[in-house]
Structure 1
Amino acid sequence: MPDIPYTNALIVGAGAGISASLARQLAGAGLKVALAARNTTKLTALAAETGALTVAADAADPAAIRQLFETLDEQFGPPDVVIYNASGRLRGPLAELDPDAVRKAVEVTAFGAFLTVQQAVRRMVPQGRGAILLTGATAGLKGYAGSAAFAMGKFALRGLAQSAARELGPKGIHVAHIVVDGGVRSATRPDPAEKPDSTLSPDGVAQAYLDLLRQPRDAWTFELDLRPWVETF
């Protein structure tokens, strides 16, 4: 399998779980890593472990995302891998949802992805290369009861990914949408003893992202579904 042909990776919406595993594996593969989140204090240990640059940014704020990329231009170098992992998880009955909270959730999940992709491609297109990976969910394929806001955002994210892939692929930029179809394992959400490997391992998910980055351009994956072996679909 070829080495990853990129040098600088940015993870937007960084935190524990998938983002942390991605940061470790990207750094282990020799890439410089930058981590962006509204609260960077929670990233201190991960940044020390991976040598990552941390930048505070609200994903849904156009000025903040523009400043994020300008900061990277000066202190890190333009990223040639951008991973969008931010989402707004708002749940509840439709009749009871706060419209302002719904707007914010959709802005974080979808509008923030647009802002991030826009800044990324302004830097990648002139270079004729790059990779943009967008973290989706089951909710981007089917909306569940009580999860309208999350589904709205993830459906929009998938539409952005489709349009971006068709526009940017011929310009040398690999766009992929990853459907994380199942619960993700964590210290507070371990597998039941009677059902081992019944949730997604963050390290396993991260490995799949890195495999995408290694693909030759004559065999790019656009959409990848990831689920544990017991998940129904």
Structure 2
Amino acid sequence: MSNTALIVGAGSGLSASLARLLKKEGFTVALAARKIDKLTGLSQEIGSLSFASDASKPDDVNRLFHEVEEKLGAPEVVIYNPSWRVRGAFIELDPADVAKTLEITAYGGFLVAQAAAKRQLALGKGAIFFTGASASVKGYPQSAPFAMGKFALRGLAQSIARELAPQNIHVAHFVIDGAIRSATRQESPDKPDSFLDPDAIAQTYLNILRQPRNAWTWEVELRPWVEPF
């Protein structure tokens, strides 16, 4: 049985926390991104393999899964983390930028989930997790493309969660409703814990992954205390 976890859209933030935690939990971790130079340090740190792949391109996604399967085994856990954002007044948006946002944020999620599900059905088990955002449930002004993409990703997750759960594949969508702490983004001293800690978010992903099948969660929201909802 495969014990491989694939993180698509890997980088230095939440996906790095997920990679470290999954490695600690005994998974063989594969990292995928359009540009893998940024993954060198993390790959060396946790002993993972990195794969160059554009999640919005069918050929890239197919090649990615074939390479991961060949080198590490079919991934039992797949996490979709890419997103692309374009902001601006609605009447001034460039249609090409909107299309790119939808391709990366939503269409790529479909491609990756389909490739993952084909292999997990053969395994007889698996998990497919999607990283959402505030925009998954709230459409903000001058952010229509991002809301469109994240709403679509949430719809994908809900639909295939219902379809694949009876076949022992756990699909879950995570609404990350707030700013995530990073080396360059820290909360002010007068508002401690007002940013989401990426390690804490990763722990929630692991908790959902470890749920018994008779009490699966398909969606969870995470937000700091300062975030209105």
**1:16 correspondence with 2:12:** yes
Aligned mates of 2:226, 2:100 — CA distance in 1: 33
TM-superposed deviation, 1:224: 0.3
Question: Normalised by the size of structure 2, how large is the TM-score?
Answer: 0.98
TM-superposed deviation, 1:6: 6.9
1:49 corresponding residue in structure 2: 45
1:92 corresponding residue in structure 2: 88
Q: Which of 50, 61, 65 is the equivalent residue of 1:65?
A: 61
Q: Secondary structure at the match of 1:120?
A: helix
The CA RMSD over aligned residues, in Å, is 1.0
Matching residue's letter, 1:33: V
**1:31 correspondence with 2:24:** no
2:165 corresponding residue in structure 1: 169
Matching residue's letter, 2:146: F
TM-superposed deviation, 1:136: 0.6
Matching residue's letter, 1:214: R
Aligned mates of 2:30, 2:152 — CA distance in 1: 25
Q: Which of 206, 223, 227 is the equivalent residue of 1:227?
A: 223
TM-superposed deviation, 1:95: 1.4
**1:138 correspondence with 2:134:** yes
Displaced runs of 4 or more, over 2 A: none
Note if contact 1:6-1:31 (Cα within 8 Å) is conserved in structure 2. Answer: no
Note if contact 1:174-1:220 (Cα within 8 Å) is conserved in structure 2. Answer: yes
Matching residue's letter, 1:99: P
Unaligned runs of 5+ in 1: none
TM-superposed deviation, 1:230: 2.3
TM-superposed deviation, 1:110: 0.3
Q: Which of 196, 202, 205 is the equivalent residue of 1:206?
A: 202
Could you list the per-position Cα deviations for residues 3-58 of structure 1 after superposition, in whole angstroms to 9, with x for gaps in the alignment? xx971100000001100000000001110000000000000000001111100000
Q: Secondary structure at the match of 1:189?
A: coil
Q: Secondary structure at the match of 2:220?
A: strand
Q: Which has the higher mean CA deviation after the structures are superposed, 30-39 or 120-129?
A: 120-129
How many residues get paired?
A: 229
The sequence identity of aligned pairs, in percent, is 59
Note if contact 1:6-1:81 (Cα within 8 Å) is conserved in structure 2. Answer: no
Could you list the per-position Cα deviations for residues 115-164 of structure 1 after superposition, in whole angstroms to 9, with x for gaps in the alignment? 00000011011222000100011101010001101000000000000111
Unaligned runs of 5+ in 2: none
